[in-house]
Structure 1
Amino acid sequence: MTRKAALPALVLALVLAAACGGAAAPAPSSSPSPSSTAPRPAPAAALRVGHLAWVSVSVATLWRSPSSPRAVDAPALGRPVRIERWLGAMTLTERRALNGRADTQALLGDRVRVVDLRPGWAKVVVPDQPTPLDARGYPGWVPRRQLTAVRPVRTPRVATVVERTPWLRTGDSAARPLFRVSFGTRFPLAAAGHRYVRVHLPTGGVRRIARASVALHDRGTPALPTSRTDLLVSATSFAGLDYLWAGASGFGVDCSGLTWLSYRVHDVRIPRDASAQWAAGTPVAHPRVGDLLFFGDPVHHVGLYAGRGSMVHAPGTGQQVQMAPAARDDFAGARRLLP
């Protein structure tokens, strides 16, 4: 995906109401309410310009400006975020109109840095999404309620989600479903069981997720092997997923969101957008599985080479992630970003 100029803002009161509310409230507790004579808990840490924060919803969309969202985008602005409701409500025309409104997404627990604050909104940069737009990380506006300033628990072991959108569940033995989380989400590991693992949330508390939905690994190591074959398996696991402009999650991806997210679980950090991925890669005349193929002049599309003249890619709005022939008239070249 290559960024284009912003579209004129269409702001409705409904969107503003959904976006306002200040810093995110603490997650509800399953413990009994304290009595009126019990000490009051310390107030949640406030978001501050220049300081770190963490995403506190399953997927936070980064908007071009606080006035970019429309009425139809209200489900994407709350906490909890209603990603599936949002995607289901948009028409094809409304999906296309995300171009110029939204730029990328960040996942639950992802670290961001706050660079500006307005009522109900925070401008952040995402360090794990390199971009020429800002040396600090990918920039965009997020509703304040979708962030927490409380530093999350840090554990030696991590549980990384390796299925598209598995359920996060209550922390008790009932393991009731709460909401879905995305492929690539990283949780500090609290305990590992045979059927479920227990993980720490950035908002506090411990929840459960199916053991089969995550890869357990030491902090600082890849969730999945950094091999070309394994990278291809990750990319093809999104086959049939709807294209979503600015999408970088298991709920929807754009072309560079697919490649960025696939590389992420193999601990290979690449730029977020197609043009930046092209600029960062090493040119190769004969691509191998896992290398990236680029299209357009200037470059505006990317796919992951699958071997034998084919690629995995997210073609465009109204289409799904698919395997397709790599030979196209607008082929620009191949780049290698693997170590």
Structure 2
Amino acid sequence: MKDRVLRTVALGIGTALVLVGCAAPDSPSARPDDRATFSADSPARGAEAPLRVGRPAWVSVSVATVWRSPESPRAVDAPALENPARISRWLDDMTTDQRRALGGRSDTQALLGDRVVVLELPKSSPGWAKVVVPSQPTPQDPRGYPGWVPVRQLAGEAPVRERRHATVVTRLTWLRADTDEAERLERISFGTELPVVGTTAEFVRVSAPGGVVARLSRSAVALHAAGRPALAPTRASLVRTAKMFRGLPYLWAGTSGFGLDCSGLTSLDYRVHGITIPRDSSPQSENGAAARPPRPGDLQFYATDGKVHHVSMYVGHGRMVHSPGTGQTVEVIATSTPGYAEEYAGARRYLP
């Protein structure tokens, strides 16, 4: 599905790394905790409406990791299970080996406001919901990517319907209180899309799942009509967006500005440009159209014994951008780089 464990170097978001690359507006280069201190009367997202089997729900935390089973999380994963989710703390606490061991425990993540469909609320696993994520196509389930999410990270109340939406287009930004002081609440990711309920000179007022109104910096979002792309679906924009993540540490199952795996990078990039592609590298290689030769924005695939295990985006001039593997960061390298050139298995095109 994603990059196999290989070409490992001593890098990672773990104990000593900070995000490198240009700091985006309202996205601090240092990495404080994902959430600020909440007052006792702060509304608890995800508690307003009960979840129901067969009905939709909405992710109510910055990033919800979708686990293979309720037994998959380890003690070190506890911060990722909270509401608000403490993603930076989770990543800081994990060793490189613990990051690598996420393989087999989780395969994807969903962002604040993403819709899921609840399949099970089993009494045998209280506090957990089996869901599918319809926005992430996969051969595993025609309804969407399957997995398990803590109930506390889901809201059963449908979001407000607004004509305008705001999508985060910086790696990370702060979701802020809807007050004159606009206090920081928690950091949310690139690709997070929320309905717009108002604007101020500096901020966009948005409705988060559970009915909480909050603010986002105007400089961190793209405003667009509901159902329309946040960014224009052009080759140049796809490449520019992928390059924006240079220096971001690889995270198995990662689909956010906190960490990305190889196919998380490509699917998230295309998503913000209004193009839905399969979540994982192998089905990405089986859809779209053949690209011979590839053009900027096309996806390139790598296989061993005929099985695709990795994806990159071609950026032109014989170079590609990709998220290589645990212990490494998103990088731009030559397509002729040894280890990749020998495993090249073709390219696919999702743009005309």
Q: How does 1:49-68 map to 2 (within 5 A)?
A: 49-68=53-72
What does residue 91 of structure 1 align with?
A: 95
Q: How does 1:299-310 map to 2 (within 5 A)?
A: 299-310=308-319
Letter in 1 for 2:116: V
- The counterpart of 2:252, out of the listed 226, 236, 245, is 245
Q: How does 1:1-339 map to 2 (within 5 A)?
A: 1-2=1-2, 44-118=48-122, 119-296=126-303, 297-327=306-336, 328-339=341-352
CA distance in structure 2 between the aligned counterparts of 1:113 and 1:216, rounded to whole angstroms:
26
CA distance in structure 1 between the aligned counterparts of 2:158 and 2:40, rounded to whole angstroms:
18
Name the CA shift for 1:3/1:324 in 2 (closer, same or farther; >3 Å). closer
Structure 1 residue runs without a partner (length 5+): 5-26, 32-42
Deviation at 1:272, TM superposition (A): 0.1
Deviations 1:270-301 (A, max 9, x none): 00000010011211211100000000130000
CA distance in structure 2 between the aligned counterparts of 1:254 and 1:330, rounded to whole angstroms:
18
CA-atom RMSD, angstroms? 1.6
Report if the CA contact (8 A) 1:287-1:335 is conserved. Answer: yes
Q: Percent identity?
A: 58
CA distance in structure 1 between the aligned counterparts of 2:262 and 2:130, rounded to whole angstroms:
24
Deviation at 1:2, TM superposition (A): 3.9
Number of aligned residues: 306
Letter in 1 for 2:63: V
Letter in 2 for 1:246: A
Deviations 1:11-44 (A, max 9, x none): xxxxxxxxxxxxxxxx97669xxxxxxxxxxx83
What does residue 18 of structure 2 align with?
A: none
CA distance in structure 1 between the aligned counterparts of 2:42 and 2:130, rounded to whole angstroms:
32
Name the CA shift for 1:2/1:30 in 2 (closer, same or farther; >3 Å). closer
What TM-score results when the alignment is normalised by the length of structure 1? 0.88
Deviation at 1:322, TM superposition (A): 0.5
Structure 2 residue runs without a partner (length 5+): 5-38
Letter in 1 for 2:107: D
1 or 2 for the larger relative contact order (CA 8 Å, sep ≥6)? 2
Deviation at 1:122, TM superposition (A): 0.3
Report if the CA contact (8 A) 1:3-1:103 is conserved. Answer: no
CA distance in structure 1 between the aligned counterparts of 2:347 and 2:49, rounded to whole angstroms:
46
User: Hey, which bits of structure 1, 4+ residues long, moved more than 2 A?
Assistant: 1-4, 27-31
Using the TM superposition, name which of 189-198 and 131-140 deviates more. 189-198
SS in 1 for 2:211: coil
Letter in 1 for 2:112: L
Report if the CA contact (8 A) 2:172-2:190 is conserved. Answer: yes
